[in-house]
Structure 1
Amino acid sequence: MNNKQQKVTYIYTYVHHKNEHDLCRMEMRSFFGFDTALNFLISDIKVDPSRSPFIEERLEVMFEADSVSDMKILIQDIKVSASTYKVYCFNRMDLGETKKIPHPERRQVERELGLVIDGEPDLDSPEVVFGLVLLNNRWYFGNYTKSNSVWHEHLHKPNSYSTALNTRVARAISNIAVPHVDGIRAIDPCCGIGTVVVEALSMGIDLIGRDINPTVCQGARENIAYFNLKGEITNGPISEVSEHYDVCIIDLPYNLYTHITREEQFDIIKQARRIADKCVIVTIETIDDLVEDVGFKIMDRCITKKHLFVREILLCE
């Protein structure tokens, strides 16, 4: 046994729909600086799993070992700060090359390790959950955090329309734009009914919403208030924005549903370049030439689909 063989800080597991594959990977790259085709990711960067619509859980690794017997020796001196705890093995699905561990075997391993820890076990309502996972013939043990699907609560808002981004996509876009929130100021100057604004505010992102349509602005304000969030929605065109922001998120108006011209699209992108250092643009058309003409460089991109409706997401700097 060599507990120092591999330096691991956090292990994340992922689940996503087939049509969200590229979006999930783009969000990974924003959070961690790389992506993986596997359904788990190992990084020394700490991310709240509830931020992502794709992360299922996070293990903050305390110990690693080649066998359960070795792990029992390592964890026997753990001091549980809370009054109750439980051990949870989350190999309930295949993780990369590691096959799912059957339920009875997982429960057996949980009992074995749980009995070693000095504390009061509680399988129903523990104050602390320790996680255990087997990956590539090596066991990892540590503090376990389950994702809370906050975005799911935002599906039912007072105001919505069919062409708006769904909450999962809006949440991922917010993360791509602002993966780490400290000190970052953001704006969504074409916010519509505020789907992106709601997701961003719920994650603690400092984002202001704005729209040229006063009726739509009021709908966005009602949506924010409905979820007890605090945020600002201003009314007016992007050309009247005078402050500078770290990042701008634009769900570009579509020719399919509005009368916006390509020249007007160009002007929106040009104004975004003026007011922000970085921009995430959502479009249903190829706009690479417009983006480059205003001086932005496309740093990353992906496609996301909603039935037959295809959107392209561009990260520009």
Structure 2
Amino acid sequence: MQTDRFLYTYVRQTDDHDLCRLEMRALFGQDTTANYLFSGRCIDPERSPFMKERLDVLAAADSIEEIIRFAATLPDDGTTFQIRCLNTMALGETEKIPHPERRRIERSIGLKMAAAADLFSPDLLYGVVRIGDTFLFGSLTENTAGWRNHIKKPEMYSTALSTHVARAVANIAVPHPEGVRAIDPCCGIGNVLVEARSMDIDMTGRDINPLAVLGSRKNLEHFGLTGTVDVGPIEEAAGHYDAAVIDMPYNLYTHATREQQASILKAARPLTDKLVLVTIENMDDLLADAGFTITDRCIARKAHFEREVVVCE
């Protein structure tokens, strides 16, 4: 079994399966149809709307007894701990472990550890999990899904990207934020912008609609986030960015004609090295005409409504 340093588990709805995998490919350079993934990359689970937890693997063994022996060697440094068994759901082909058995596994490890256990406010979380015939043990980081606080905003559009889709799109555009400058030049009410800024992604907003810009600024301020949001068309955007997100306008009030869509994409080409386009209609021809090359894509579904997320360079 592959046992890279980090194990990530996932929870996703059927409609989000393809979007989740596209986000996986952006963050890790790989994906899987399973609901867990091994990687050598350390990603904060809070980044993703789909990640459940990250296990920093300290030991891998063929039996729980070997894990117990390893845990017994950990020194008592004055911190308290709690152990959680991650088999609360089926992980790939490994069936869920019933609650009583999970508690037995947790206790059997904890009783042999030198440090003091604390079931209510531990200093450290440890995780243990069985995948196939292998047991893994390590430090555990859980996703508290703080991004859900962004669902209800002071200013909202009924047709704007949902919060979890906006967060995934921000991750796809900027999977590794350090030193990366990004722009959302058609930011609307700022759903992608809020998610990006909440993850310390250096993203600037812009929109041709002054009312949308005011709403976007208000949403950022509401969540204690900072960021520049300018008024004006993408054609007047100055500078150059490593990545851009464009959720192509499509509703009754902001619908762009085919010519306007082409103009937006042509203006984006000199503006950015990488583009993540969100669209309800195929724009492969317009992207090619603008000079973009498609490198990845998926369909993001919500019931019978579909958006395409297209990654371009």
TM category (shorter chain) comes to over 0.9
Contact 1:32/1:43 (8 A) holds in 2 = yes
Name the TM-score, length of structure 1 as normaliser: 0.96
Q: Which amino acid counterpart does residue 35 of structure 1 have in structure 2? A: D
Task: Check whether the contact 1:248–1:279 (CA below 8 A) recurs between aligned residues.
Answer: yes
Does the CA-based 8 Å contact 1:82-1:127 persist in structure 2?
Answer: no
Aligned equivalent of 1:46, options 42, 46, 54: 42
**2:217 equivalent to 1:221:** yes
Match status 1:290 vs 2:282: no
Distance 1:312 1:80 in 2: 52
State the match for 2:236 in structure 1. Answer: 240
Q: Rate the CA distance shift 1:153–1:112 in 2: closer, same or farther, 3 A.
A: same
**Structure 2 equivalent of residue 97 of structure 1:** 93
**Residue deviations 1:53-77 (CA, integer Å, cap 9, x gap):** 0000110000011111111122211
Q: Deviations over 1:136-184 (max 9, x none)?
A: 1110000001102122100111000110000000000000000001000
For 2:304 and 2:262, locate their aligned partners in 1 and report how far apart those are by CA, in whole Å: 25
Q: Is the 8 A contact 1:49 1:55 kept in 2?
A: yes
Unaligned ranges ≥5, structure 1: none
Is the Cα contact below 8 Å between 1:255 and 1:261 reproduced in 2?
no
C-alpha deviation, 1:46, in angstroms: 0.7
CA–CA distance in 2 between the matches of 1:175 and 1:35? 14
Instruction: Tell me, in whole angstroms, the C-alpha distance in 1 between the residues paired with 2:40 and 2:112.
Output: 28
Q: In structure 2, what is the Cα distance between the partners aligned to 1:140 and 1:256?
A: 53
- Letter of the 2:211 counterpart: T
Are 1:171 and 2:171 an aligned pair?
no
Counterpart of 1:159 in structure 2 is 155
One-letter identity of the residue aligned with 1:45: R
CA distance in 2, matches of 1:174, 1:35: 18
Q: 1:183 corresponds to which residue?
A: 179
Q: Which residue of 2 aligns with 1:272?
A: 268
Measured after TM superposition, the shift of residue 256 of structure 1 is 5.1
Shift of 1:259: 4.1
Question: CA offsets per residue over residues 78-126 of structure 1, 9 Å max, x none?
Answer: 1254521011111011101111111111101101110111111011111
Q: Percent identity?
A: 51
CA separation of 1:55 and 1:80: change in aligned 2, threshold 3 A: farther
Report deviation, 1:34.
Answer: 1.1
User: What's the secondary structure of 1:118's corresponding residue?
Assistant: coil
Residue 199 (str. 1) matches residue 195 (str. 2):
yes
CA change 1:180–1:72 in 2 (3 A) is same
Q: Does the Cα contact within 8 Å between 2:15 and 2:303 map onto a contact in 1? A: no
Structure 2 CA distance for aligned equivalents of residues 17 and 97 of structure 1:
18
TM-score normalized by the length of structure 2? 0.97
**SS where residue 209 of structure 1 aligns?**
strand
Query: Residues 29, 69 of structure 1: CA spacing in aligned structure 2 closer, same or farther, 3 A cutoff?
Result: same
For 1:293, the aligned partner's letter is D
What is the CA RMSD across the aligned residues, in angstroms?
Answer: 1.2
Q: 1:253 aligns to what? A: 249
After superposition, where does 1:9-20 map in structure 2 within 5 Å?
9-20=5-16
Could you list the structure 1 runs, at least 4 aligned residues long, displaced by more than 4 angstroms after superposition. Answer: none
Measure how far apart 1:257 and its partner are: 4.7
For 1:219 and 1:9, locate their aligned partners in 2 and report how far apart those are by CA, in whole Å. Answer: 42
- Residues 110-125 of structure 1 correspond to what in structure 2 (within 5 A)? 110-125=106-121
Aligned pairs, how many? 313
SS of residue paired to 1:265:
helix
Q: Partner letter of residue 117 of structure 2?
A: P
Residue by residue over 1:17-44, the C-alpha shift from the partner in whole angstroms, topping out at 9 and shown as x without a partner, is: 1111110000000011111000111111
